[in-house]
Every structure is written in structure tokens, then in C-alpha cells.
Amino acid sequence: MAPILRIEDLSAEFLTPDGTVKAVNHVSLSLREGGTLALTGESGSGKTSVALCALNLLPHPGRITGGRILLHDRDVLSFTHEQLRQVRGRDIAMVFQDPATGLNPVLSVGQQVEEIITNHLDVPRREAKRRTVEVLAQMGLPDPEQVTTRYPFQLSGGMSQRVMIAIATALNPKVLILDEPTSALDVTVQAAILQDLRRLQQTYGTSILLITHDLGIVAQMAEDVAVMYAGSVVEYADALTLFDRPRHPYTWSLLASRPRWDREGFGRLPSIRGTPPSLIDLPDECPFLPRCPKATNVCRTEPVPPLAPLEAGHLAACYNPIYQEEPARAGVRTD
């Protein structure tokens, strides 16, 4: 399918008293219409910054220093304030990581959902109320009419997250960005919310940009995966290929370190030694070099490797890609 959202050579930074944090470095992504692209990697790798840039919402002191963000082939970064207001919510929406700070504590749930509807659609209040109940019901909230009268402090974590998703999907946006949508929830609530999201996607053809560090969620939800490290995409492939044949040592190490039911014995799980580099003082060579088990002299003497194709649709930024198979495919989404 044709891409509905394209991010081309995006760079962004934050100016701080300690120096310039290079949060996003020449990132390019493509989200297919009706598909799900997962953006994964360690905390601090730049995933959320990419998402905020997609909405042109990077907070001060952040700034976008290069690249384009094309939504329906229109560059979001060139939009006026009024154009952005029209696009956000209707064409592209985002569910932020922490529902406790994403909901207004002094407004009821109903008021917050209705506000999105009435700000974008010329509908009577009665219709806005009906639509509010409908979107809350779609997210699996019991007794949605009663939920509209509640305030955020009266909601559980799972209910708050469902309300956040209901607000984001009230106008059936074409692109939905989910930033760690289930990170603070128990596994049963997490599974239910993911099921609701897949049902919404199948019903409305929504394209999803999923930000998560949880590789299990990536396997369940995504068709395509981009792995980020130190502000850059280091590997890009469809989910089946990435879990079957990870080529970048960082991706391989991530997959090797996760618990799996098919792993023999109960020994110590592999881990990735060291820590990510400071984004204020990024090295000239590969940022994964100090932690890489496959580093060679080329890695130590050459500049950062470009993201280059290894096979059709599979890209990695590595001079010495891994060709050892990693049996990590179990549970990957195949539909």
C-alpha cells in the first residue's frame, strides 16, 4: 500500500545548559495506509521525539533542524498554526504515554471527548454527546454513559488509558500515534486494550505508528519495525524478517535478551553490556561501538554507517551485520 505518512531525513535537537542534545538524527520512516509501524528501542533513543515532530509538537527548547514530514504528501512542518489545528485530531492524533497527565483533572470525561468533536465538527451538542458515548463504548468501557460523568481521579489506570484513546480516535483520524500505550498496565488490561486497537484499525483502516520498548507488543501489533538507538534508526524491516533474521548487533542483542518459552533451561538471560552514549557528545563512529560484540577495525575507524539495504525491504546501519539466525519469531503478527 502507498504510505500515508513519510518522515524524510528528520533531525531534531534540544538546547540545554549542558550542550545540544541531538535527539533525532536523519531519521526516515514510512507508514503504510492501514498498516502498523512499530518504533522500538531503549528509553532515550529518540522514539517519542520523532512522534512529537510528526505532529509539529516538539516542546521548547527542542527544535527541528532538518527533514520533512509528509502527511498525505503535504509537509506538516510548513503548515500554519490554523492548518495544524485542523489536522491534529482529524487527520493525525496521538495518545501520550501517561494518562494521568494527559487528562484534564477539572473536566469530566464527557466534556473532554465532546470538546474534540465540537472543535472540529459542526454538530449539535446532542450529536456530540451521542458520539462521545459511542467512542467510549468502542474502547470497551462498561456503562459508557456513566463514564461520561466521571472525572479522571475516579478512573483506574486502564480506564484512563481507554479514555485517552477514545479522545484520540473520536474523529477517526487516518493516522494514530501511540506512545507506550500500555506500559503502566497489567498484562490482562494490556491485552484487552491491544485487542480494542486492532478492532478499531480493522473497522476504520487507521494507520498506527506504535512507540514501544516491549518487543512482545511489537510482535503482536506491527507489520513493519524500525529499531532506534541513540537518536538514529539502526535497522528497518517487516516484523517477520526482523524477528527471524535481525542483522544489526543491537537488534540481535535485544531479541536475544528477552525471555522466551522455547529457550532451554533457566540460566541467566543475556544482557547488553555498557550504556548508551550521551546525545550531547555523540561519537563520530557508530554509537553502538563500545557495546557491540561484533565490532571490527572498520567500525573503529570509519564514520557512522548509513542505513543501507541488505536485502529487499531490510535495511541496517552496520559495517559488520550478523548473519547468525535468531529463532525469535514466536508470536509475531502474521495477518
Q: Which amino acid is at 152?
A: P
Mean pLDDT value of segment 115-131: 93
The 10s digit of each residue's pLDDT in 298-323 is: 999 999 999 999 999 999 999 999 88
- In this predicted structure, what is the pLDDT of residue 333? 41
pLDDT band at 330 (very low <50, low <70, confident <90, very high): very low
- In this predicted structure, what is the pLDDT of residue 1? 65
Backbone angles phi, psi at 274, to 5 degrees: 75, -170
Dist. CA 100–CA 259, nearest whole Å:
30
Residue 42: burial class (beta carbons within 10 Å; 0-12, 13-18, 19+): middle
C-alpha cell read off for 241: 524478517
Mean pLDDT value of segment 144-173: 94
CATH 3.40.630.40 for the 1-91+173-335 domain, yes or no: no
Could you tell me the end-to-end alpha-carbon distance of the chain, in angstroms, rounded to an integer? 15
- In this predicted structure, what is the pLDDT of residue 149? 97
Spell out the domain ranges in the chain: 1-91+173-335, 105-171
C-alpha distances (whole Å) from 115 to each of 7, 88, 97, 107, 324 are 30, 13, 21, 10, 53
Q: What is the pTM of this model?
A: 0.92
Asked if 113 contacts 169 with a C-beta cutoff of 8 angstroms, the reply is: no
The 10s digit of each residue's pLDDT in 234-285 is: 999 999 999 999 999 999 999 988 776 666 655 677 788 899 999 999 999 9
Mean pLDDT value of segment 132-141: 94
- In this predicted structure, what is the pLDDT of residue 100? 76
The 10s digit of each residue's pLDDT in 15-63 is: 999 999 999 999 999 999 999 999 999 999 999 999 999 999 999 999 9
